[in-house]
Amino acid sequence: MNNGNFGTCRSCGRQILWIRTTAGKNMPVDTAYVDYVLPKEGEKATEKIVTPNGEVVSANRATGEERDGFGYISHFATCPNAAQHRRRK
């Protein structure tokens, strides 16, 4: 199954992937997969991961062997120019 179209970030010029989420929204994500772990009880998830099926999960990046799945990370979180959008000129 191929859900998503390649595109280019208008802000930083990097290649991104547009994934249609289960909510029907198109979301720009990085093209590389990341492994994620779901937060344990009482833990806070710091990332929004979109699975290849378009499900958005709140999780943390896997740092060790343990992982609950893989998906794409929102490009809004990694775009090097994201801060510029908010900065006043």
For residue 9, state whether it binds Zn ion (rule: CB under 5 A).
yes
Using alpha carbons only, what angle is made at residue 52 by residues 46 and 54, rounded to the nearest 5 degrees? 75
Residue 14 or 67 with smaller CB distance to Zn ion = 14
Q: Distance (Å, rounded) from C-alpha 30 to C-alpha 34?
A: 9
Kindly indicate which of the ranges 12-20, 34-42, 47-55, 60-68 contains the residues binding Zn ion, using the contact rule CB under 5 A. 12-20
For Zn ion, the binding residue among 3, 7, 11, 18 (CB under 5 A) is 11
The closest of 25, 22, 20, 7 to 79, measured between CA atoms, is 7
Our finding on whether 50 is near Zn ion (CB under 5 A) is: no
